[in-house]
Amino acid sequence: MKVLGIMGSPRVRGNSDILLSQALAGAKEAGATVEKIILDRKQISGCKDCKKCNKTGICVITDDMGEIKEKILEAYAIIHSVPVYFWSMTAQMKAYLDRWCVFFDADWNWQKIYYPKMFRKRIGLITVCGDPNVHTADPIVHSFKSTAEMTRMHWLGAVMASAAEKGEIANNEVALREALELGRRAATP
């Protein structure tokens, strides 16, 4: 089984990356193969709302999201990690998440070609914010949890942590333990 990590922070080796690596280590310990995608290193255009994918299940935009879509389809679970930027997710993560439209028809049901691989797929989230109040990330959690509920994916939960300086999260034993456990849950049937 494969657990896919999607990093939505442009800051490699920063707090979001450290926690995602910890979660993927937990998944690996539980027997999964793992892969991490750093969205900032990919070319992903925003959704154009042309609605062509609603009919065909194929996005008309030619960029790296096509390759990422295939990795999503083959993964057993997906763990997303993203910091809070201005009370929301980063632009990289938002462009990626908006492009999930390709998986749905005009009524927001799974495309028939994707349903067998996406229904009940496991999905989890890690958020990091500079605010000591981790609930500053609630809008991000709402986006991912609502996506899971609407589509009947298996919501694994969210790890919410606070850290401002690059690498600071490495000293937060609670967040590291929660990320490791999220990864283990992602890889455990």
Per-residue model confidence as pLDDT tens digits over 133-154: 999 999 999 999 999 999 999 9
Cα–Cα distance measured from residue 79 to residue 122, given in angstroms and rounded to the nearest whole number? 8
> 105 pLDDT band (50/70/90 cuts)?
very high
The 10 Å Cβ neighbour count of residue 131 is 12
Tokens of 105: 């028809």
| 104 touches 47 (CB < 8 A) | no
Domain count, the chain: 1
Mean pLDDT of the chain: 96
| 170 touches 180 (CB < 8 A) | no
The CATH number linked to 58 is 3.40.50.360
| 88 touches 4 (CB < 8 A) | no
User: Hey, which residues does 83 pair with through a beta bridge?
Assistant: 128
Mean pLDDT of 159-172: 97
Q: For the stretch 27-45, what's the b/e string if a residue is b when 16 or more beta carbons lie within 10 angstroms of its beta carbon? A: beebebebebbbbeeeebe
Higher pLDDT residue, 189 or 71? 71
The count of residues in the chain is 189
| 21 touches 29 (CB < 8 A) | no
- Residues of the chain with pLDDT > 90, as a percent, come to 98
What's the confidence (pLDDT) of residue 179? 98
Q: Which amino acid is at 92?
A: Q
| 80 touches 8 (CB < 8 A) | yes
> 172 pLDDT band (50/70/90 cuts)?
very high
> 121 pLDDT band (50/70/90 cuts)?
very high
Range of the domain at 38: 2-187
What's the confidence (pLDDT) of residue 47? 95
Mean pLDDT of 160-169: 96
Per-residue model confidence as pLDDT tens digits over 43-91: 999 999 999 999 999 999 999 999 999 999 999 999 999 999 999 999 9
> 131 pLDDT band (50/70/90 cuts)?
very high
